[in-house]
Amino acid sequence: MSTPRRLLLVNGPNLNLLGIREPDVYGRETLGDVEELVSRTAAAAGYEVRPVQSNHEGVLIDAIHAARTDCAGIVINPGGLTHTSVALRDALSGVALPVAEVHISDVMAREPFRHHSYVADVAVVHVVGRGVAGYAEATRELIATLTG
């Protein structure tokens, strides 16, 4: 069976408020802008993208589980779940797909509780603090991992 040419793009809690919530931290681009950027970036390498955003952990976990059958990898910004969710980390580990972790802000330069990521040890790509453009970088790096 050939490897699927699809990526799952996961955005966690509050990322639906991109462009509105703390624009000095997260910028003015919207979630729609992020999804379009990742789709364009992936399409340039022959991949399609299935985006999912939810403020509910279980919805994200279900989407990750479903990806194991038809996606080659996962680009994820877990939002606040980065620092709290062992369940999300276990879902990513359990599907055994390559993961790119992306954060718009530099979480290491923010509050101390943001310095730990439960996703970090299961991700093969980490892009932090590069704004929304970091999603494109994470997508390119993940595809390079898949094809390299």
Residue ranges of the binding site for substrate: 77, 83, 90, 104-105, 114
Tokens of 116: 């730990």
User: What gap in Å lies between CA 55 and CA 47, rounded to an integer?
Assistant: 26
Q: 122-139, pLDDT tens digit by residue?
A: 999 999 999 999 999 999
Instruction: Give me the catalytic one of 47, 56, 65, 103.
Output: 103
Residue ranges of the binding site: 77, 83, 90, 104-105, 114
Q: What is the pLDDT of residue 2?
A: 61
Q: Mark whether 118 is an active-site residue.
A: no
What pTM value is reported for the model? Answer: 0.94
- Kindly report the CATH class assigned to 6-147: alpha beta
pLDDT < 70 positions in the chain: 1-3, 109, 113-114
User: What gap in Å lies between CA 111 and CA 108, rounded to an integer?
Assistant: 8
Q: Mark whether 116 is an active-site residue.
A: no
Q: What is the pLDDT of residue 128?
A: 94
Q: What is the DSSP string of 25-47?
A: HH-S--HHHHHHHHHHHHHTTT-
Instruction: Give me the catalytic one of 26, 47, 118, 135.
Output: 26
User: What gap in Å lies between CA 114 and CA 36, rounded to an integer?
Assistant: 27
User: What gap in Å lies between CA 146 and CA 101, rounded to an integer?
Assistant: 15
Domain boundaries of the chain, sorted by first residue? 6-147
**Which residue is listed with tokens 């931290």?**
25
